[in-house]
Amino acid sequence: MTTAILSALQEEQSSLLQHLQRPRRTMHAGRVFWQGDWHGRPVVLALSGIGKVAAATTATALVERFGVARIVFTGVAGGVGDGVQVGDVVVAHDYVQHDMDASPLFPRWELPGYARTRLRCDTALTAMLLEAASAYVQSATGQFDSKLVAGQPRAHRGLIASGDRFVCAAQEVQNLRTALTSAGHEVLAVEMEGAAVAQVCHDYGLPFAAMRTISDRADDSAHVDFPAFVNTVATRYAEHIIQGFLQK
Ligand code: ADE
């Protein structure tokens, strides 16, 4: 049973690649796929690309060409929920596409043809990922520059929203949260790919789980924090949490 591990960013993937035994590189659909073993288990590592369409193409290739049995996503996200801080991890319970709006033909955020707004992640995989994330953030306390991770990081589980926008304005976050909350969707984090991969996994009937390290608060300081955080913190989180997950 092959596990696909998707990352949004090259930096995150590099830290995962070091663990791959017998790595084999394949180019397909303009993307690089790395097959190998990790803890004796067959895995394929790939970059999702940025945005929903790129991520859907990568996920489809993983299913059609590499026959993966499950997909796990590791990446960064903007924290928008109360108490979701930079350095925390959010493990997705389910996903919504915050830029989906086919109203008045369909209710706002509903996926046309799917009769649903939210896409659920796999319960068992999500529980394993949350366990690995909780264990790592506890052990990581105080390990990072306090300018990047202040205080005790936490692992959360909840709704993540994806859309083709890097959200970097407090007003936009407030509008997004107010609108989604009024429809009963309490969002913890925003990113640009997860919901697309969740939709592909739904179509093929594959289990999917995702973890996102919070790199910014999706506000006016989001662009300043981002590169430093990805290079020093997110790469370590991805490596350790996926390692913990694969050992389960
Ligand atoms: N990924 C990391 N931070 C993000 C943000 N603020 N908006 C969208 N995607 C992100």
Question: Is residue 191 lining ligand 1, measured as CB closer than 6 Å?
Answer: yes
Burial, 166: exposed, middle or buried (Cβ in 10 Å; 0-12, 13-18, 19+)?
Answer: middle
pLDDT tens digits, one per residue of 22-33: 999 999 999 999
Domain range enclosing 106: 3-246
Is the pLDDT at 244 greater than 90, yes or no?
yes
Question: Average pLDDT of 5-9?
Answer: 94
CB within 8 A of 90, min separation 6: which ones? Answer: 77, 79, 81, 84, 155, 156, 157, 158, 160, 188, 189, 211, 212, 214
Count of the separate structural domains present in the chain: 1
CATH code, 121: 3.40.50.1580
- The CA distance from 173 to 178, in Å, is 8
Instruction: Give the ipTM of the model, two decimals please.
Output: 0.99
222 CB less than 6 Å from ligand 1?
A: yes
| Top mutation candidate among 74, 190, 231 for ligand 1, by most atoms within 8 Å of CB | 190
The string of pLDDT tens digits covering residues 110-148 is 999 999 999 999 999 999 999 999 999 999 888 888 888
State yes or no: pLDDT of 162 exceeds 90: yes
Q: Which class for 131: exposed (0-12), middle (13-18), buried (19 or more C-beta within 10 A)?
A: middle
Q: What region, left, alpha or beta, does residue 50 occupy, with left being phi > 0 and alpha being psi -120 to 50 degrees?
A: beta
